[in-house]
Structure 1
Amino acid sequence: MPRVHDQFPQAWPAIKAALAEDSTPEQWELAIEMCLDSRLRHRYIQPINAIAGSRKLKGEGFLILTIQCSLLEFLASLRIGWNYRHGADWGSDFEYGDSKRLFVDFLRHNSPFSNFISTKAKAGIFYRDIRCGLVHEAQTKNGWVVKGGLSRYPLVDFDTKIVNRDAMSNAIDQYLSEYRLALKTGPDLRDAFVRKFDNLYLHASLGTGFSVG
């Protein structure tokens, strides 16, 4: 295994080779830190925390939730090892072209999200009014409101149409903790992880000045 401070994407070929030779939970723990955790920490978690930490309450919750929705779709595709391609048939060559189906299935079948978004209808509402509203219109739709404060509001309340961006951060953290544990011993999750990071590496390697470390 490469040194712990060597990170994805440059170190991916060496990481993948090391996992093929030794797939113990300890080796997977190193791979998770070097590929997944470092990537999420710098690209998502730290920026979200920095924005939330300002506590200006001037609408930054919309930006936070937009980032979180992007992260949710990544986590959904990572879990099954599929990659998005516009127009792709569902599951053909481990690709998908239907973001809604991926997003909806993930929310209602994986805890802790499924504790609040338990049906296909509710997950569809979240996708349409929150995810798509934020991504395409830069606001939530149909009366949904973004709130903060862990003790004041649940993750999602479909009666009052409130989504809690602080609770979403906690839910993502909880999901990742459970996913990491399952990944260390789950062959299907491991295969999906490798497929996903193979694809991420492929696209990263096309960048100008890319070199394998």
Structure 2
Amino acid sequence: MFINNDIYISPRFSRRNYVDLGLSLESSPDIWRIAVQIFEDRIKGRYLDSIHKLIEEDPNRNGFSAMALMCLLVDTFMQFRFGLPQSENRKSKWNYIVFMNEYLNIREDISSIFYSDIRSGILHSAETKNGSYLIPDDYTTIEPLCIERKTILKVSVRGMFRDIVQYFQNYCNELMDANNVECRRNFITKMDDITLKYDVLNGDLELWAVIVDNANNIFHDFKRVPFSYSISEFDQAIIINSRGSRFDIKIPFSDIKQSLYYTDPKARHYIVNSWYIDSILKEFPEAVERYIRNNAA
């Protein structure tokens, strides 16, 4: 969330609150305690508190939404545990299965079915798949059932929440133990990715954050043709989707930085697709002015 010229990575803590810690394996227990507090606020404030409210208000009605959030949380926990900046497309299913097996005590074969029928079913199709289903009651978290020689899953919403909360508490305790070097190293890798990825424009967080927060809004180029854009962190680029065009246009962040060195619009026209850059940046005059003052003077 972009609030008061800063990115908030949790309800109470900003990106700067974490970055300023300079967290490392050698950091003091007090520094690690603050880092874990930030992580706890992120997970509780954005996920666990909301899931708890949904379940307690009406588990029959809200169980599906609660499970969707829990599936996202398992992805997040897996990335922190294994030190992954993001899910690896070709390995994401296997990583998910390994995590559920090792840290949620769910057999690999059952974890595989959960990934396909529950996690991917809900997140990609907004439904459970292949006959697997959810129940609101607090029974066994995941119960496999054999129906017509096919295994389906009966998944308890309350049971899943209980197990996730327990894992979360155990993980935070592990982070406070300096002997858990790999756990801490992987945590730093993931938190650094969350907090430092906004520094791609010469460290100017404000301009980058404004662009990210407005991604996929509808803008217009010089011909008043509407277009939208999205952010590709992997390619370090803005991806333009223009109405009437069959192909997306990729604009590297370096082009954006380069264009800001030229105050005369005519001088920027040699940059390919500069009109898209101008169309986007003119929406954020204060952030652009601050960037030029701090970096392009």
Taking structure 2 as the reference length, the TM-score comes to 0.58
Q: CA deviation at 1:155?
A: 0.4
Residues 208 and 189 of structure 1: is their aligned pair in 2 closer, same or farther, counting only changes over 3 Å? same
Percent of pairs with identical residues: 24
Whose strand fraction is larger, Structure 1's or Structure 2's? Answer: 2
Question: 1:135-193 deviations in whole A, cap 9, x for unaligned?
Answer: 1111111111111122xx21000127210111111111110111112112211111111
Identify the residue that residue 148 of structure 1 maps to in structure 2.
Answer: 136
The one-letter code sitting in structure 1 at the alignment partner of 2:40 is: D
Q: CA deviation at 1:84?
A: 2.2
Q: Residue 98 of structure 1: which of 91, 94, 102 is its match?
A: 91
Residue correspondence of structure 1 range 69-84 to structure 2 within 5 A: 69-84=71-86
Contact 1:107 1:123 in 2 (8 A): yes
- 2:116 and 2:59 map into 1 onto residues whose CA distance is 28
User: 2:94 & 2:26 partners in 1: Cα distance?
Assistant: 36
RMSD over aligned CA atoms reads 2.4
C-alpha distance after superposition, 1:49-99 (max 9, x if no partner): 2212221623x2111111100000100010111122665xxxxxxxxx421
Change (3 A) 1:15 1:6: farther
Q: 2:163 aligns with which of 153, 163, 171?
A: 171
Q: Structure 1 unaligned runs (5+)? A: 88-96
Corresponding residue for residue 40 of structure 1: 43
The separation in 2 between residues aligned to 1:51 and 1:134, in whole angstroms, is 17
Is 1:61 matched with 2:63? Answer: yes
Alpha-carbon distance in 2 for matches of 1:136, 1:6: 31
Q: How many Å apart are 1:13 and its aligned residue?
A: 1.6
In structure 2, what is the equivalent of residue 139 of structure 1? 127
Equivalent residue for 1:129? 117
Deviation at 1:203, TM superposition (A): 3.6
**Larger proportion of helix:** 1
Q: Does 1:201 align with 2:195?
A: yes
Whether the 8 Å contact between 1:145 and 1:163 is mirrored in structure 2 is yes
- Give the TM-score taking structure 1 as reference length: 0.79
Q: Which amino acid aligns with 1:196?
A: K
Query: Which residue of 138, 144, 147 maps to 1:158?
Result: 144
Structure 1 position 182 matched with structure 2 position 174: yes
User: Offset at 1:21?
Assistant: 5.9
* Partner SS, residue 80 of structure 2: helix
User: Structure 2: which amino acid aligns with 1:47?
Assistant: S
Contact map agreement 2:79 2:87 (CA 8 A) in 1: no
Mapped to 1, the partners of 2:87 and 2:183 lie a distance apart of 21
8 Å Cα contact 1:154/1:164 also seen in 2: yes
Aligned residue in 2 for 1:91: none
Residues 18 and 195, structure 2, Cα contact 8 Å, conserved in 1: yes
Residue 27 of structure 1 aligns with an amino acid whose one-letter code is I
SS in 2 for 1:161: strand
Letter in 1 for 2:171: Y
Change (3 A) 1:23 1:63: same
